[in-house]
Amino acid sequence: MDTTLGLVKGAGLGLRRSLAIPLLETPEPAINFYEIAPENWITIGGKFGKAFRAMTERHDFVCHGLSLSLGSTDPLDESFINEVKSFMKEHQIKLYSEHLSYCSKNGHLYDLMPIPFTSDAVIHVAKRIKRVQEILEQKIAIENVSYYAAPGQEMSEIDFFNAVVQEADCDILLDVNNIYVNSVNHQYDAEAFLKAIPADRIAYAHIAGHHVEAEDFLVDTHGAEIVDPVWKLLGKAYELYGVFPTLLERDFNLPPIPELIREIQTIKSIQDAWQIQHDKRTA
């Protein structure tokens, strides 16, 4: 089975449909790769379909799924997985990732729900991840998700996450903002969580903004600028594990492209700073 690690580099951007044509007409050299939700692009045609085809011919892309519902007890949607496989082959897309969550129960729930942190759930979801990897003929990356309740919890979030990754033999999409949001909402040490991640499995990372509902309650929205504690946590991740590809998520309240580029350049500046320090240490 092919490994997915090291297939993209630098700093990336989640490609919203409204950004496709402007970024095709005026490429931004600061963006090293793009991420798309395959559900939003597989059937797209017309001018957006043509723009997407042109962009995949020029740039590296990864897929980040929204609807596979890995933690559900509904049957795995293998027809969709095969559509993703064909779509990735057609556009030479490097990697498929999904959330460690579920979003269906006899129909789609249109939200990402937390999987119970139990040993039975580890076996259940890992079996489904293995099947996805078998169909795609490559490893996928699983994202640590934000959550606001932990029903039936038998183990910590990090122990559950690591157990799934180990059992499924999959890679990791490390969401830095989700670590920070969860650390505030569930009162744990974000750096301790980060230090427990199996770093050799990190394919790439997400960084995003969130909404402050209260001092002790944050909502993962992807609709605001990234705050300083999240930037610092990203720097800590690079300090611990070296620089890895990192993607800016901005899903609504989209600012003008120059503002998105400013945040991408912040990612690159943090990457460059830690790469210089790493080079000095190993010289």
Domain boundary assignment for the chain: 11-282
pLDDT along the chain (283 residues), means of 10: 80 96 96 97 93 96 94 92 98 96 64 87 97 98 93 94 98 98 97 97 98 93 96 97 97 95 98 90 78
Calpha distance 174→197 (Å, rounded): 9
Q: What share of the chain is helix, strand, coil (3-state, %, to 5)?
A: 45, 20, 35
pTM comes to 0.95
Are the CB atoms for 136 and 96 separated by under 8 Å? yes
Helices (H) and strands (E) in the chain, counts: 9, 12
179-200 residue pLDDT tens: 999 999 999 999 999 999 999 9
Could you tell me what percent of the chain has a pLDDT over 90? Answer: 85
User: Mean pLDDT across the chain, nearest whole number?
Assistant: 94
Distances (CA, A) of 144 to 100, 165, 197: 6, 10, 10
Q: Which CATH class is domain 11-282?
A: alpha beta
Supply the pLDDT for residue 102. Answer: 76
Calpha distance 135→78 (Å, rounded): 8
Calpha distance 205→174 (Å, rounded): 4
Supply the pLDDT for residue 150. Answer: 85
